[in-house]
Amino acid sequence: MSVVIRMQRTGKPKQAHFRMVAIERSRGLTGRPLEVLGSYNPRGDTAAKKLIMKRERYDAWLKNGALPSETVSQLVHELHKASAPKKAQVKAEKPS
């Protein structure tokens, strides 16, 4: 059983909404997932509002050998980058 983590489209036409799911590779696009790991709303304002996920379960599936799709990898990377604390920028004062 080869498991992948991918996006599964839901929602109305022209109003896409996606679920992040762990699913067997051989199941179709609308097949029953093993577990729903989160959701993605492309119409959200910020990265944190766009992607909502169960990070612990995502990491557990990765440890068990599930392969994330390219899109899922990019979205998780953007979420991690957006939620990381920003470093304080210190401006050097010019001597008068």
Give domain limits for the chain. Answer: 3-83
pLDDT in tens, 3-27: 999 999 998 998 989 999 999 988 8
Instruction: Supply the pTM of this predicted model.
Output: 0.79
- Report whether 3 contacts 22 (CB < 8 A): yes
- Report whether 34 contacts 22 (CB < 8 A): yes
Among the listed ranges 32-36, 58-62, 90-94, which one has the minimum average pLDDT value? 90-94
**CATH class of the domain defined by 3-83:** alpha beta
* Other Cβ atoms within 10 Å of 15 Cβ, number: 10
